[in-house]
Amino acid sequence: MSIPAKVKEQYISLIEEIKHHDHMYYVLDRPEITDAEYDQLFDRLLKIEEEYPGIIVPDSPSQRVGAEPSRAFKSITHRMRMLSLQKVISPEEFIDFDRRVKEGLGVVSDIAYTVEPKLDGLAVELIYENGLFTTGSTRGDGTKGEDVTQNLKTIRAIPIKLSDETAHKYPLLEIRGEVIIRKSSFERLNRKMLEQNFSPFANPRNAAAGSLRQLDPRVTASRPLIFYAYGISSVDLPALETQFKAMQFLKAEGFLVNEFVELVAGTEAVKNRFEKLAEIRPRLDYEIDGMVVKVNEFKEQVRLGEISRAPRWAIAWKFAAEEAETKVEEIIFSVGRTGVITPVAKLKPVRVSGVTVSNASLHNEDEMTALDLMIGDFVIIRRAGDVIPEVVEVLKEKRTGEEVRVAMPQVCPSCGTRTIRPEGEAAHRCLNSACPAQVIERLFHFASKEAMDIEGLGGKLAAQLVESNLVKDPSDLYSLTKDALLPLELMGDKRAQNLLNALESSKKRPLPNIIVALGIFGVGETAARILAESYGTFDKLYNSSLDELMTIEGIGPVIAQSVIDYFANPGNRKMISKMETAGVEFPPYQIKRQKSAISGKVFVITGTLSAPRDTFKAIIETAGAKVSGSISSKTDYLLAGTDAGSKLEKAKGLGVKIISEEEFNRLLKN
């Protein structure tokens, strides 16, 4: 069907008008028309698109909502890692950061910094190709995130299309920022949830994260999410020399940029901005937990580089933890998957840093004794790092004499087995591996995403499976049938079948994930990957010796002994055998390496290079070599960039060959 020129003209005009009002409402918070008038514009747009489907363009406002629900989120690898920020909590610590920046740049003059509030939301990345928003993802682990493109398109504070000039000048743009929900919107959302008989969200951050990760974009669209942009890849924008100019560019392109972004110079100016931000924090309509400070010049950021998962050129200056007074109503004892018994204070619910807190871990007997804590005490609590609730102080002056002292239990509260406190440890333990509480925690760990990734198996279901005697160890999961599952609480036919499907899929997990799932004490994701890579097959790891384990870089004596103890345990051996019988695969694991001039060599990387160290590490490992974190007599090459530190001196002392990035590239070509 041909589209009349007049209709095309009206259609384009409507798109621009709706975009303008979206920007005024969602970004500038200055609506120019009523909701009813806005709806009339949108209805006119939809009618044209319904009559002329061929007219629809990718950046039409109608394309923000309406995609079918996704079954799962795909994984996306970030072009450049989304780094975490190191934290400081005092002026002295910030001055120390400033000193390191000056030393790294070789200057003594004041450093120019861009400062802005640290929003408490969910970090995301947006990719624009030829001016069109094409892909959006969560931060994830920094290297890979979840593809939430369709959900991000529902956020009207995110432009679907950039200006023609920008699209022409920058065919590829990577923009990062924070998805949040304002406090006022959060209160309205929770009222709506309660009216619909749903559980309210705990805090705005949880609400934002949960809303963005909805499998149905239409649900996300119904939530009051907004997006604050805070950065652009300097690789994509060589014409912009500074962070502050990048923020101005984002604002000009229609993004919401925080109103308190400012360019300052020197530690005193940064300190003044931090104090002012702390003063106005209670009056802001969004949650913040500190201030982000970034070296302003992009070229200086590149020179400073990064360490591990954090840049050297930025810091998060966190506010002091907010504190609140409440009462200890009870002290209970929880049992973890390794048998550790932890005292937990049950508190009269109180709001701290925007979250309702009703529990606080007391860690162990020594901690409880040091606090001199009793049931009935009034206490001061805070959220350590604005995350974990902890008891800071007992208000002994408020005691009435009716408080009750509690001792660590002599028997396990779950199974009744006598507890012990091993010499040299702070924790009490239950050594009964069949203890129901331990089995529940082990099931929950076994099913986690980092392990066997059994979707639908949460803590409540794990408890039901154990209490019903259906599961005594994780291997029993693979013997479950639909008939056995259906009598469980809230277990319908579809949910039971989904769980059985997830269990079947979990039989083909990579070897590092299986090692994590076993729950070997001290063996997390990193150690599991090292073990899988070092041994290649599960059988070799299963039959390894302590001497072999001790030679593996990254596996210390504690983990090595833990691995030996685990596989020596008859119960663990039986569980592994049952997993194999049930069809769980223990696939070999090997990084695909090429043969090259550096195959078999050991590298150490130091200093600032033209790309992040992880990039060079991947190149080296793919070429058949290994990367170590420390210099030793076994090191073959030190790849040294600018501002190399102590590793360079140590390499010289040991006679290790030192090569530049240019020499490294020549070596690879050979």
CATH number of the CATH domain containing 370: 2.40.50.140
> How much of the chain exceeds pLDDT 70, in percent?
93
Q: What is the mean pLDDT of residues 279-304?
A: 91
Q: Which residue has the higher pLDDT, 199 or 82?
A: 82
For residue range 165-180, list pLDDT tens digits in order. Answer: 999 888 899 999 999 9
What pLDDT is stored for residue 579 in this prediction? 96
For residue range 478-504, list pLDDT tens digits in order. Answer: 999 999 999 998 888 999 999 999 999
Are residues 556 and 621 part of one domain? no
Q: What is the mean pLDDT of residues 74-82?
A: 84
The phi and psi torsions of 144 (rounded to 5 degrees) equal -130, 145
Q: Which residue has the higher pLDDT, 666 or 507?
A: 507
Q: What is the mean pLDDT of residues 385-393?
A: 73
Catalytic annotation, pick one of 118, 153, 318, 647: 118
Are residues 515 and 504 part of one domain? no
Does 285 reside within a domain?
yes
Does 72 reside within a domain?
no
Domain count, the chain: 6
Of the three residues 462, 493, 508, the one that is the final residue of a domain is: 508
288 and 274 Cβ atoms separated by less than 8 Å: no
Are residues 260 and 169 part of one domain? yes
Does 594 reside within a domain?
no
Q: What is the mean pLDDT of residues 503-511?
A: 94
CA gap 229, 258 in Å, rounded = 8
Are residues 521 and 454 part of one domain? no
For residue range 224-261, list pLDDT tens digits in order. Answer: 999 999 999 767 766 788 999 999 999 999 999 999 99
Q: What is the dihedral of CA 469, 470, 476, 481, to 10 degrees?
A: 170
CATH label of the domain that carries residue 28: 1.10.287.610
Cα dist from 553 to 205, 451, 542, 559, 627, whole Å: 39, 23, 18, 12, 10
Are residues 211 and 104 part of one domain? yes
For residue range 315-328, list pLDDT tens digits in order. Answer: 999 887 777 899 99
Instruction: Compute the C-alpha angle 45/170/62, nearest 5°.
Output: 15
Of the three residues 468, 487, 508, the one that is the final residue of a domain is: 508
Annotated catalytic, 396?
no
Does 79 reside within a domain?
no
**Residue 387 pLDDT more than 60?**
no
What pLDDT is stored for residue 594 in this prediction? 67
Are residues 262 and 222 part of one domain? yes
Q: Where is mean pLDDT largest: 3-12, 317-326, 565-574?
A: 565-574
**Helix spans in 557-638 (H):** 557-568, 570-581, 613-622
Does 417 reside within a domain?
no
Mean pLDDT value across the chain: 86
Are residues 223 and 299 part of one domain? yes
**Residue 69 pLDDT more than 50?**
no
Domain span at residue 291?
A: 87-318
Are residues 175 and 56 part of one domain? no
Q: Which residue has the higher pLDDT, 103 or 645?
A: 103
CA gap 325, 379 in Å, rounded = 6
**Residue 385 pLDDT more than 60?**
no
- Which pLDDT band, with edges at 50, 70 and 90, does 58 fall under? confident
CATH label of the domain that carries residue 562: 1.10.150.20
**Residue 553 pLDDT more than 60?**
yes
For residue range 579-598, list pLDDT tens digits in order. Answer: 999 999 999 987 666 677 88
CA gap 501, 94 in Å, rounded = 51
Q: Which residue has the higher pLDDT, 195 or 69?
A: 195
Does 126 reside within a domain?
yes
> Out of 4-13, 152-161, 230-239, 255-264, which region has the weakest mean confidence (pLDDT)?
230-239
Are residues 354 and 253 part of one domain? no
Are residues 454 and 391 part of one domain? no
> How much of the chain exceeds pLDDT 90, in percent?
45
What pLDDT is stored for residue 308 in this prediction? 59
Are residues 220 and 289 part of one domain? yes
Q: Which residue has the higher pLDDT, 574 or 386?
A: 574
Are residues 372 and 272 part of one domain? no
What pLDDT is stored for residue 62 in this prediction? 73
Of 597, 599, 607, nearest to 658 by C-alpha is 607
- Which pLDDT band, with edges at 50, 70 and 90, does 67 fall under? very low
